[in-house]
Structure 1
Amino acid sequence: MKIEEALEESKKVLTQKRYDHVERVTETAINLSEQYHGDHYRVGLAAALHDYAKDMDFSILKQWIVDHVDLPKDLLNYHHEVWHGPVGAKMMERFFMIHDDEVLNAIRYHTTGHKHMSLTEKIVFLADFIEPGRDFPAVHEARKIAEKDLDRACHFALENSIHFLISKKQSIYPDTFFAYNEFTDQLTY
């Protein structure tokens, strides 16, 4: 599947606003891929499909989690905002015969992050956080950091996501903590 085809597939199932976000994430991810020597195709494909399941009814996402033995059932204990990544990755396998773990994991973990993120995963995760349509206080700093250091930018994004979820009194999926802790242990400031 070409990146342009993936964008067209996303456009079929997303609202215009969400699709515009996906286009911006794809462009941002490709730019980051060029900067950090990522795999242009894998990054672009994952970015173009990362929110494929985002606008689907929660009952559909829940049913996918229940029905698929390889989707973690503990997802159901967390806010539905984290469901679309893992379910979307499963849908990519089923609907589009994508079996590239690099692409699937970038889709699966684009919201939560996780321990041992690949370059493709980091780029898609960060592109989703810093795309030009985002406007919140931390995003400006994240963009500056992203110009110089991908790992520090991911760490910053994870830290801010954790703070945001705590401020909203929402539970935080454990993979986010694992990713944050790993970056914290690896980076020296």
Structure 2
Amino acid sequence: MAERSTAAAKQGARTADREDARTPPLRPGGYEPADYAAVVVRSAREAGVSPLLVMTVLHNEAYKPHHPLLERLWQWWKPGASFGLANMHRATFERVRRTHGLPGRWQDLRDDPAFAVRTAALHLKDLDRSLARRHVRRYTRDELLALGYNTGERNMRAFARGVPPGPMARSYLRRFRAYRERAAEALADGGEPRDTVTG
């Protein structure tokens, strides 16, 4: 009986996520990560990571349109492209799917924004588990996790030891820092209190 109620609760949460996670608009410039604040908060809390971290990553990854039709066209043109609101590559998705027993396929990330956010939050949690508690002081823990999201776990660990990031990673980090306040405002506007910056 308890198993049924747990399964029903999870199904109810997935349904609520889908209702809160409408399909991104087709028109360029119409996508706003703040529209997914409720899904970000639920997914981050379920994964055990900061909603502010997840929302800031979504802002950082909002550089291309995320409508499913446009992502299908993008995949046709560039088969190894990343999908979903959080731009996840297939190999990363498969690793997260196996680790957490997720249903679905990589292609589902483009069609289900809530699933994309949940998968990104779980990936950030996996990165957090692999990051040593002590790291160079020039980065906060969230900054290192964002760098790991962008460049991979091995590079994240190298940056944590003091290896300087390359130009693309530095650019990602600058954008992450610039979007931090905007992400906090999106969460506050979504009815949730602001998170403190984790270090």
- What is the TM-score with the length of structure 1 in the denominator? 0.31
Q: Which has the higher helix share?
A: 1
- What is the TM-score with the length of structure 2 in the denominator? 0.30
